[in-house]
Amino acid sequence: MRKKRIEIHNDREYKKFLRRITLYKRMFYRNTLFIIDSNIHDPNINYIIEALNIKKRKDRIQYVYDKSCEMIDEKGKEKNICGFKNYKCYVQRETKSKACNGCCKYCMYQTKNGCPTKNLACKLFNCSEVTSRHDVVKYRDLKILKLLSLKNRFIVKSDYFSTREDVLKDLYSYSVIYSTCRILYRWTKNDYFFSRKQKRKKRVNK
């Protein structure tokens, strides 16, 4: 395997490297081992190099997805950024809502212990109550996502209310239409689940 050394010692070199990611993904670099030489402290750099050295498409997509989730979790670690108290978030407490579980209340996968899966779109979503209080990871901070195609970048931003496995299947697909149909189907299923839950609640409260 050929070796390619990437040197990143300043902002200009970092920007140049980011611009070249699309090039480094090409067939030409299929038998290339990327080696980094950098003194910049940004976890994205090592993760991008690691991802570029994964040559199987699905394995690379999975790595990028999991590392993005990990970077968000790492920053929010031990911080209750949505201000949950008694299962109610900032917004639910401020509006004196009877609902619990914050944004997850709309999702068929929610459990009493929180989210049972890893959904990147959900992890990236923060309402203004959260952003005004905390420095959160934003989409633009996840430079590693530049390794994904445009279709896949759109999916990771919008595939809410889905399990990690379903999102990965959407990302693996080459077809925009197929992925969109899968996402719309799950949203419809989720809406149906939510409206049935609401009806059940109304019946119990009568």
Q: Which residues bind ligand SF4 (CB under 6 A)?
A: 82, 89-91, 102-104, 107, 109-110, 115, 117, 119, 122, 126-127, 129-130, 160-161
Asked if 184 contacts 151 with a C-beta cutoff of 8 angstroms, the reply is: no
Asked if 81 contacts 102 with a C-beta cutoff of 8 angstroms, the reply is: no
Give min distance, CB of 158 to ligand SF4, in A: 12
Give min distance, CB of 83 to ligand SF4, in A: 6
Give min distance, CB of 90 to ligand SF4, in A: 4
- Residue number with the smallest Cβ distance to ligand SF4: 102
Give min distance, CB of 104 to ligand SF4, in A: 3
Query: How far apart are alpha carbons 170 and 154 in whole angstroms?
Result: 11
Pick 127 or 181: Cβ nearer ligand SF4: 127
State the DSSP H helix or E strand holding residue 167, giving kind and residue range, or none if neither.
helix 164-172
Pick 34 or 194: Cβ nearer ligand SF4: 194
Structure tokens, 15? 């920007």
Query: How far apart are alpha carbons 203 and 206 in whole angstroms?
Result: 5
Pick 87 or 172: Cβ nearer ligand SF4: 87
Pick 46 or 97: Cβ nearer ligand SF4: 97
Helical axes 11-24 vs 43-52, angle rounded to 10°: 20
Give min distance, CB of 123 to ligand SF4, in A: 7
Structure tokens, 162? 């889905």
According to DSSP, residue 4 is labeled E
Pick 50 or 66: Cβ nearer ligand SF4: 66
Asked if 71 contacts 43 with a C-beta cutoff of 8 angstroms, the reply is: yes
